[in-house]
Amino acid sequence: MTVATGERNVEVWVVDNNSTDGSIEYLQPRFPFVQFIKNSANQGFSRANNQGLQKAQGKYILFLNPDTIIPEDAFTSCIAFMESTPDAGALGVQMIDGTGQYLKESKRGFPSMWVSFCKMSGLTRWFPTSKIFARYYMGHLSNQEVNKVDILSGAYMMVKKSALNKTGGFDEQFFMYAEDIDLSYRLQQAGHINYYFPHCSIIHFKGESTRKDSKYVRQFYKAMVQFVQKHFHGELAWFYTGLLEAVIWLRAGLTFVSREHEERSLKYQGTPTFYLAGDEKSANEVRSILTAFPRYSITTNNEDAREWIFCEGPSFLFRQMIEQLKTCPPWLKAFIHASGTYTIVGSHSKDQRGFVIVLE
């Protein structure tokens, strides 16, 4: 974060929704420039973000999920675009998961009844680039070009403070899901444009926030019901709500409930052989500690290794790491170590929790 902020006058607010793993106590001494808000109960995504928004004083507000890694030039490039684009109210970026795969929710269309039907019926999946059937993820628009879009992801959403002064922040009736859809829609209604900006790419591990099991399906579609009831009226709203309610139970019944990965295990499950890539000094930090654990081994042959640790440092920036991840083959299990830290993290499925190796 300190590298990404550069020389800019940036304030950072972290809102803790009653975590029980000692996060605040661990982070505070390591990041003295960060200001923390600790809740005694889980207030939900919308209310927690609004708590930070009430304190923030900047010209631009960035709502950022904790399970993200951003490049060093993220703020510089995004703010430069906002400054040069007068009609821009909000901006979203290109997101990839922990395996380097593009996340389709980086840009989305307004969830009208037709758009939602195409998504729920599978038409969007069968015709992923169709302007007619794939508007939910705006599949007809290039992932590599700047475009005006309807909906941005709350995982990384930069908004002009002046626009939020008119629309307000997130609607707190949405505990989780659909809150970014609602805010994006209200920004449009107020005359602002939402932009998809692919010249900044971030990693969004995603599976750290939730698993896509039957509980997730019910929560997601119930949030969509709330959105419909808020913004649609008359017989159309009644029909749309009924359709969503039916899908909640259908999708929940068909969803395969995968076995929960062990919660943030200190040990990676398996006997991995790691190849260390990236900054040499950072790689030496990892090597000096991992060699003390017999269950881990390190190889110098990158062709044989299926587990790579990308080591960030002065000669291998997060920006370079993110670009390299995009080119990795699907079978490669990527892990990330930031120079000077005590962890190695990796997430190999956007639907399940990832892994943490603690270097202590």
CATH of the domain at 87: 3.90.550.10
Q: Check residue 202 and give its pLDDT.
A: 97
Whether 160 maps to a domain, the answer reads yes
What is the layout of strands, in order, in the sheet containing 333-337? 297-299, 273-278, 307-311, 333-337, 343-346, 355-358
Q: Select from 213, 259, 207 the least CA-distant residue to 103.
A: 207
d(CA 90, CA 184) in angstroms, rounded, equals: 8
Q: Structural domain tally of the chain?
A: 3
Q: Where among 172, 187, 210 does a domain terminate? A: 210
One domain, residues 9 and 75? yes
One domain, residues 159 and 100? yes
Q: Between 88 and 268, name the one with better pLDDT.
A: 88
Q: Is 105 helix (H, G, I), strand (E, B) or coil?
A: helix
Whether 263 maps to a domain, the answer reads no
* pTM score: 0.85
Does the pLDDT of residue 320 top 90, yes or no?
yes
Whether 46 maps to a domain, the answer reads yes
Mean pLDDT score across all residues of the chain: 84
Does the pLDDT of residue 100 top 50, yes or no?
yes
One domain, residues 198 and 343? no
One domain, residues 346 and 241? no
9-30 tens-digit pLDDT? 889 999 998 888 888 888 888 8
Structural domain of residue 329, as residue ranges? 273-358
Q: Is 99 helix (H, G, I), strand (E, B) or coil?
A: coil
Q: How far is CA 349 from the centre of its chain?
A: 13
39-71 tens-digit pLDDT? 888 888 889 999 999 999 999 999 999 899 999
Compute the average pLDDT of residues 325-337. Answer: 92
- Cβ-Cβ contacts under 8 Å for 222 (sequence gap 6 or more): 248
One domain, residues 290 and 343? yes
